[in-house]
Structure 1
Amino acid sequence: MNLKRLTIYGFGHFHDRTFDLSPGLNFLVGPNEAGKSTLTQFITAIFFGFPTKKHPELRYEPLDGSRFGGAITFQQDDTTYTVTRTDGPKGGTVTLHDDTTNLDLPAELLTKLLAPVDGQLFTRVYAINEPRLGTVFTASKQELVDRLRHVGAVGSEYWLQQAQRLDQAADDRYKPQGRNPLLNQQLREHQELSAKLEKANGAYQTYWQLRQQQVDGERQQQVLQTTLTQQRQATTRLTQLLAQWPTYQQWVALAPAAEAVSHGFTATDATRLEQLRSAATASEQTLADDQQRFAELQRDQQLPPLFDQYLPIADKVDALTQRLPQVQGSQQEAQRLGTSQRDLEQRAGILEQQYAVNGQMPRPFSLAITQQVRQLAGELTTANQKRRRLQQQLNQRNEQFRQVQPTRQQHNNPLADKQVGWLAAGLVVLVGAMFLPNTFLKLAGALLGVAVGYYGVFLVDSSTPASRQLDELTEDIRDLQAQLREGGQAVDALTTQLDTIGDAHGMSQIPLEQWSAAQSAIAEWERLTRLLETTAEQAATQQATVRQFLQEATTILPDLTDQDLAAVASQLTQLQATRQALSHQETDVAALASRLQADQAAVERGKRELQAFLRTRNLTDVAAFYQQYQADRTQTERQQQRHTLVTQIGADNLTALKQQISRAALQQQVTTAQQNQATTQATLDQTTSHLATLQGQLTHLTASGTQATLRQKLADLETQMTQTAATWLTERLVSQWISAALAAASGDRLPQIVAQASEFYGKLTENRYTKIELTPTTLRVQRATGEWRNVGQLSRGTAEQLDLAVTLGFAVVMNRQVQMPLIIDDGFVNFDEARRQAAYRLLATIAMDVQVILLTADESVTTHTTGKVLRLTE
């Protein structure tokens, strides 16, 4: 099997990630917390199921709330499959797809594709990490042997555990030299019982007769003792009941009992009630008289309709009237704030219509951004002006070039012909000098010819004024074009920077020349928005003040309900003015108004006190109080008497006395109980004396135990021994059969695994250890010097290398039957650098046959060109 692709929907901190793997060696490199252990658990979970929610630390549910699960694409037997597992019951919801034929397969087929590997074998052998490698260091010798047998025979772990359990159980039953095992103890006990039985056989008949008499006597003695104890208790109880019979008769005379006495109905409470009633009645009568008098005077004086309601609560109404100016000011302020609020909303709406995009106002620039925009805008203006100036110059040069460019008749250059003539003359002089007789003359002639040619070629100017002007214009045009390109690039760069700032602040829809005005408008809009929020809060506060005032006014004067503040203010002012006018008049109305107010307060106070008195006692009227008061007095007296009598009698004795018919019947019961007790005591004394005699005789005969008891014990013991021996033999034979079966099942592969592991161990340890040997009782390794060492004598890193070698040996040998990839999660942290590199080389060799996925934080693996390198942090 080769894993081709890991697709993670959501697992741990990974989400929407894909890792493409190659068939051979794969390096997944990342620092700590990059997700190496997460990927190992992801592969295990997708193949074998998510752990239950009882183990949340192993589920790796996504941290960002994305979809939990993923998919693995793998190739097996020339067929490509994709298994997908997402969150769901029983380890997750699984789907299996055949990518080769594009068919959906039953999810149950996944187990058959992975067989015989299950989740436990996969995590133990194929998913390697440092803690699992470390178990070889702490394991006992027998555990190492069983583990290698498990590796050699797939699925044998359960049977190894059963064999160990059976061996332990057999040892607990019997050991040849043991003392504590069950069968050893039973053998010693059998020997002791046999000796005692031989001694007891002689006096068997006499012993049996005495023993039967003793059993009968003990049974009779036990019955008599129980009977005597019961009789003593009954006599004592009946005597006590007889003594308490007169008190019980008094208790009966006070029956039946009534309900419990209620609190709050004493004589003091009754006196207090009468005082409250008298005070309330007097206050009500005074108020009625004064109200009748006031009604007559009100008709005569023509007072306002609310005035009779006002007088009893004048203090509350006056308090509201004093607050009236403040509340009227709050109403005026609320109206002013409402007008201001509408004006602010209108002004802010105008700005939003001008500059808002999709209902969103642009964001204001900071001081630094403002300065940057101003600088970039200035540079852009300068750059554009420079481009226009250069373009004008270029147009002028192009026009001049077009005018100066020579026609076809002007292409012949006479001066160029003159240069050819001078050159020809120089050559003639040079050739002629070669024929002069004197060497000096030849040299002089040659120099003269060279000078003539040089003059003609280099000193005589072959160009014309028109050609020189064309060259200058061409050079100027090229220079101007280069400057225009540079200017265009500068303009593009400045425009890009300004566009970036505009996009970041929502200004992309506004022309650059309007940015300054837009920023001022944005600042004004933000100021208006803040002011609008403040105004709305202030208006709500003022309106709440007005509403609260109106609510208080209608509470104390219900006739003012549904009236606005102006009407309420008018009514309150009129009431207060009327009262003030009356207070300055020496009339009966003024005096009566003051008296009515005092009367009303007294009546309300009396009612409150009376209602409070009755309410604390759960009553509604005074008659109920006196009824309960009288009943409580009578019941209290009877309860006190009955309680005193019950204390004297006792609760249990009272129950027993209720069951008696009369005093004479109770006296007869006491007499009968005393006679029965005396008779039973005499019989018990005789029986006890006879048992003492029998015990002496039996002690003499049975110093070593009775014959029947010893025979029964011996027979029971022999039965137990037979069962123990049979169980021991069964457990020992089954354990040996399991060991033999596992040895046969793994016999052809275990030597191959050990040999392959020895080869790998030599490579991992740089041939310091060359051989691994597995014996029936121990596991040891051989050094290159020939010395043997047990696992407990190895360092942690060397022991982990031993476990790695065994695991790799299993993977290679079993590859034909069990084709699974090897996943190594930072398993080499305890290896030194040389052995770590040796491990990398070994993995590269193994990867030719078995896919290897190494997750590591070691950056040096990137130097291995034989494997595919993936970065977890990309």
Structure 2
Amino acid sequence: MYLKTLTIYGFGHFHDRTFTLDAGLNYLVGPNEAGKSTLTQFIVAILFGFPTKKHPELRYEPLDGSLFGGALTFVQAKTQYTVSRTAGPHGGTATLHDDTTDLTLPATQLPKLLTPMDQLLFTQVYVINEPRLGQVFSASKQALIERLRHVGAVGSDYWLQRAQQMDKQADTLYKPQGRNPQLNQQLRTYQELTDKLDKANAAYETYWQLRQEQQQRQRQQADLQTQLQQQRRVTTTLTQRVSQWSTYVAWQRLAQNQQAAVSGFSTTDATQLEQLRGQLTAAKQALTEDQQRIATAQQAAELPEFFQEYLPVAAQVDPLLTELPDVQLASQQQTALKTTRAELQRRATEIEAQFAQDGQMPRAFSLATTQQIDQLQQRLTSANQQRRQLQQTLNQLNERYQQLQPAKAHATNPLADKQVVWLTIGLAVLIGAMFLPGAMFKLVGALLGVAVGYYGVFLVDSSTPASRQLQALTDDIRDSQAQLREKGRLIDDLTNQLDVIGTAHGLGHVPVEQWSATQAAIGEWERLTQQLETTDTQLATVAQKVTDFRQQLATVLPKLATSDDATLWQQLATIVRLKTSLKSQESELATIATRLTHDQAAVTSAQQQVTTFLRTRNLQQVDDFYDRYQVQRERASQAKQQAALAAQLGPENLAALQQVSDLAALQAQLQQAQAKQQTVQAQLDHCTERLATLAGQLAHLTTSGTQATLRQRRQNLVTEMQTTTEKWLVDRLASQWIETTLAAASGDRLPQIIAQASEFYGKLTENRYTKIELTSTTLQVQKQTGEWRTVSQLSRGTAEQLDLAVKLAFAVVMQQQVAMPLIIDDGFVNFDERRRQAAYALLAEISHKIQVILLTADTTVIQLATGRVSQLSD
């Protein structure tokens, strides 16, 4: 696999940049901050995904806000693919395209194409820089073996993960020096149970004696608890009766004072008297009110002045009074319609001020015109987008044309060197033809000279690749300009059509984008205009009705007709009310006089009923009845109090208290009961204390459990330990089997890598070191003198050269399984000049097998003729 092109949309400070790469050695040269590390991270990000926002220093989001992401084209197994990635969730939104067959592939196919390579292995081996080379001091044989397993066996990732999972599961079960693993805890528990069982066997006899005494004490405790509960109930009952003695004394006192009730003074009798007194009061009030009505009717005989003016012309005014409700309603409608009209006129004026030009409102579009405008706007939008795309394409072609111009000036062509020769020959033939005899020979010679010169000047020049490429770009630029002019004419035509429609409908001063809002306002203005016309018609109708009524009223009541509406309607309503009142006044006075006679009779009857009620009870005054009634109520209250006290005491306590002579005898019974309760309580406390002591002694003896229980627990634990041990053996042996199998699948390549690394290391150190050897924990190298040195004994630059040799050897040996490009980001800063040149030579050598991309600030690589050179700076 090798990278062919890098296209950066926006990444770090790069935007809209494209880098072309060869399959062999590529030098990308630039000073500090030119973007070498940025370009390295760009390749990793496009292949494996953008880092999360938790690591913003690795994301390189564009500094100028351009589109985040890019694309790269790579060739694998003679098939060219293009993968692009832009900002999005889960590492960005990726697309994959097969350029060879022109097929779009699912993005999930990309990891399969890169298998068995993943981001971790790629950055550890194939992405090389000075910090990673400096990690050689912590390099180990195990790390190199794990990389071999990762790449050397198909599907090894899954089995390596399974082996790691099994090791972790085994560690959770048992560790030789562990405390928390399950089997370690079970072994400690087994020893503890064994110690407890030994103690239980020694204390068995004492335990049995204490257990028998405990059972006897428990039976005694139960009997004493029963006796104590019974005695507590007796004491509680006597305490309650002592506290109720005052209530019992009150009950006795009420029972002694109880007398028989007297009839005629019950609540019913009091209610009857109240009803009779109420009837008397109502009759007196009705008599007073009728007397006031007669006085009021006599005062109403004085009529207002406007009613006196009405009386002579009542025959002419009465027909008008029948129309009064309708005219009043018309007046109210007139006021409401005026308010509505003012609001409609205000809104219409606002719309006219906003959209009318020269006092003329624009016209509304028809449905066909609206559809035509929508189509024209869609076509105009599409044409503008196409013109912008054509302009962008034209700019890119012009830029490429400008880039190729200097290339043309420096391009070399073997035929171009002969232009002067051909032109000289053509000129010589032309001059020689002038000296030939005969016009025909002169003409043929002149044509031959011109043909030879034309061939030398034009055909040779046009045969260069740069000329052909410039000609192709020129043709593309002309086509793009022609298409751009055509789109410009189409946009002008569409714009003119829209201007014609706008002018025809009075919208020439309104932008096309506001036509939709303008049409809505025009529709609202037309509805407001129609509503104004309707309102004016209704207002004229109700106004005419009010005016006609006033004119008719002015002919008979001219003074009243000049009043304002509120006064006029009030006085006319008063006339109607007084007119009705006068008609019924005579009959009302007669009715009131009849009611006065009836009221007087009702007062006399009610007074006689009250007197009869008092005489039947041998009373003279109402107050005497209420005095006797109050005495009767107090006696009933005492009876209720006595019943309440009896209920409070309860039938059982009341009967028991009646058997006691006095409070002293009752208190003596209570003291005896309390003394007995204390005796039983003391016996129970002593028994409980002894049980607590026995329980503590038994708990001490049985802290580890009984013998049978301990034996059963230890046997159960043995079974669990056997199960745990079997699980641990399964996980540990399975992990070891996986590691052994993968080591066998990839172990034959380790010697190849070490041998290749020794060769590379000799070239890098000018054969100062000739051999590399893996120890159990690290690497060691042999000097040309035969002396061995560990990595920690090497200088930093020499140690970094060792790590570079191992990584290059790994990439070369494993190219059959995974061929990935080597990316070196200023990795030789600690190399001296001679070893740096040796490193460049080694890269040129291995670039025949794998692609090498060297990003460096060393400008000396420009003079090297071993690879493609590109400048990072514009």
- TM (norm. structure 1) is 0.43
